[in-house]
Amino acid sequence: MDDVLELEAGAQVALIAQGRLSAEELMRATLARIEAVNGTVNAIVALRDADTLLSEARAADKGPGRGALHGLPVAIKDLANVAGIVTSEGSPAYVDRVAQTDDLHVARIRAAGAIILGKTNTPEFGLGSHTFNPVHGVTHNPYDPTVSCGGSSGGAAVALATRMLSIADGSDMMGSLRNPAGWNNVYGFRPSWGRVPAEPEGDTYLHQLSTNGPMARCPADLALLLKVMSGPDPRRPHDLPAMRFDAEGAGISGKRIGWLGDWGRAWAMEDGILDLCQGAMEVFAEAGCVIEPVTAPFSLDALWDSWTMLRSWSVSVGLAPLMADQAARKKLKDTAIWEAERGMAMSAAEVQAASEIRSDWFRTAAALFERFDALAAPTAQVWPFAIDRAYPEAIAGQGMDTYHRWMEVAVPASLIGLPALALPAGFGPRGLPMGVQLIGRYGNDQGLLALAEAYHRRTLWPQKRPPET
């Protein structure tokens, strides 16, 4: 059999179900691949013992099929708990914290038959779109190890690109599924907020910015994992009802896509990004879609003010226990302390004002989706930057006033919980990948999957390498 690691996750699962591939064979190939390449890219962390993993794979071969992911090796982003594995979140404050139980989406992945082999690397607390931390180090871009792989789901994207995994989970607050997908030539899907429920603990009403979601090398595998991860939890409000996702969907001819570009020149962009992403729009046009430029639909300053208020407020809540512990606080990175202090200083009136802007933008976006089936924009405003930089301080001569301003392109979807699917857009002049994000009406996750599948069939970008330069 040809290299099974080149196969999509759905194909691997099908072969196991047919008895043409064993879970043990797939696990051996996976572990060999990790041994061969992970030392270079550092995407998989907290790898479990090989003998234990092979024993679990043999047990999967002997037992009945357990679900949609039966026998599939999976690694979980190191912001989520996996029973028996350290959840460091990339922070020295949590370096010895071994999880006692699985988080909700992890439990669903395990129940579907996946074999969890370890974790994927992430920035400390998932803050910042460049995957490095003082616990596990930096994750390298497989297309050029001297540049960033993005983040915060950077380890997951690199593991997919290097064929160490065929499917992966991730999370997205400010582009954390989208930017690394774009920079690693794979797919990442931030689903509608509430599609994949978070842990039913603490407050479950106020903080609606971050969500878990799937990453893969094809839209069909996004749908496969989304079906496993999604569905309401009776202990949480606001969750969306369960549904059956299918990347095939209906035909896309006649679908209307609004091209946001650089938001009326409000987003600073490095040269070449818009041209490459507009080329992706041409693929949709060839498939019969109608592509129409969209003038800036809302004040970007208002969106940024609302976003930074609500984000810092949310981050401060999560970091409050560590901020209150002086010994733990000394272990936090400066940007985490900045976010937490900023959030803790906010008044209720400021949070209310930020949420009113968010509500105005949701109403404006709802009107846009009466005209369009999706909106499109690049997944990032810069090409992958030097790995020894914490973040870009300027884009095309325009200074960035925060550590995350360079990912402002992620805000329109994140602020109001819209689904956003990152597609590979091809390679730039230096052979580095870039992506384009499709943003959909709230709840229309299926529509984005159908658009992505039609695009994938015409491009097959994850199977390609950049041209020689």
Q: Which of 442, 10, 423, 422 is nearest to 228 (CA)?
A: 10
Q: Name the 3-class secondary structure at 370.
A: coil
pLDDT score of 2: 54
Cα separation, 298 vs 412, whole angstroms: 9
Residue 195: phi and psi, rounded to 5, are -70, -45
- Binned at pLDDT 50, 70 and 90, residue 97 comes out as very high
Please state the rounded mean pLDDT for residues 267-290. 98
Residue for token pair 């971050």: 210
Report the 10 Å Cβ neighbour count for 6: 11
| Cα 163 versus chain centre, distance | 17
What does the mean pLDDT of the chain come to? Answer: 96
Cα separation, 141 vs 41, whole angstroms: 7
Cα→Cα distances 388→29, 37, 152, 248, Å: 32, 21, 16, 41
Cα separation, 199 vs 193, whole angstroms: 13
- Binned at pLDDT 50, 70 and 90, residue 468 comes out as low
Report the 10 Å Cβ neighbour count for 331: 16
**Helix or strand holding residue 120 (H, E):** strand 115-120
Q: Name the 3-class secondary structure at 338.
A: helix
Q: Name the 3-class secondary structure at 208.
A: coil
CB 274 within 8 A of CB 232: no
- Binned at pLDDT 50, 70 and 90, residue 469 comes out as very low
pLDDT score of 466: 81
| pLDDT > 90: percent of the chain | 96
Residue for token pair 């650089």: 262
Q: Is 66 exposed, middle or buried (0-12, 13-18, 19+ CB in 10 A)?
A: middle
CB 272 within 8 A of CB 425: no
pLDDT digits 0-9 by tens, 177-236: 999 999 999 999 999 999 999 999 999 999 999 999 999 999 999 999 999 999 999 999
C-alpha angle 440-445-450 in degrees, rounded to nearest 5: 90
pLDDT digits 0-9 by tens, 387-429: 999 999 999 999 999 999 999 999 999 999 999 999 999 999 9
371 has a pLDDT exceeding 60: yes
Strand partners, 172: 211
Contacts of 190 (CB under 8 A, 6+ apart): 172, 177, 178, 211, 213, 413, 414, 419, 420, 421
CB 204 within 8 A of CB 242: no
293 has a pLDDT exceeding 60: yes
Please state the rounded mean pLDDT for residues 335-349. 97
* Domain residue limits, the chain: 4-463
Cα separation, 52 vs 33, whole angstroms: 17
**Which residue did the predictor score with more confidence, 460 or 248?**
460
Q: Which of 218, 293, 220, 219 is nearest to 256 (CA)?
A: 293
* 4-463 belongs to CATH 3.90.1300.10: yes
Please state the rounded mean pLDDT for residues 260-284. 98
The two most distant CA atoms of the chain are separated, in Å, by 63
Q: Are strands 187-190 and 420-427 parallel, antiparallel or unpaired?
A: antiparallel
Structure tokens at 218: 């094809």
What would the DSSP string read from start to end of 404-417? TGGGGGGHHHHHTT
| pLDDT > 70: percent of the chain | 99
Cα→Cα distances 211→50, 115, 185, 192, 293, Å: 31, 23, 22, 8, 29
The 3-class SS string of 133-198 reads ECCCEECEECCEEEEECCCCCHHHHHHHHCCCCCEEEEEECCCCCHHHHHHCCCEEEECCCCCCCC
Q: Which of 315, 200, 250, 187 is nearest to 446 (CA)?
A: 250
